[in-house]
Amino acid sequence: MNKAMRQGKSSRGIGRILKEQKARLYIIRRCVVMLLSHHD
């Protein structure tokens, strides 16, 4: 039972982490585009 509960929690955590990483990458990409456009 402990293992099953742990797996469920870890899978949920991974999903949340992936979402956060996607959001972070999106923000970083926007910043890079802004910097590049400013340089031009």
The pLDDT confidence band at residue 2, using thresholds 50, 70 and 90, is low
- 25-39 pLDDT, tens digit per residue, is 999 999 999 999 986
What predicted TM-score, i.e. pTM, was given to this entire model? 0.53
Domains of the chain: total: 1
What average pLDDT does this structure show over 10-22? Answer: 86
- Structural domain of 34: 1-40
Q: CA-to-CA distance for 33 and 21, rounded, in angstroms?
A: 18
Give the chain's largest Cα–Cα span.
Answer: 59
CA distances from 7 to 10, 12, 15, 16, 19 (A): 5, 9, 12, 14, 18
Residue position matching structure tokens 């910097």: 35
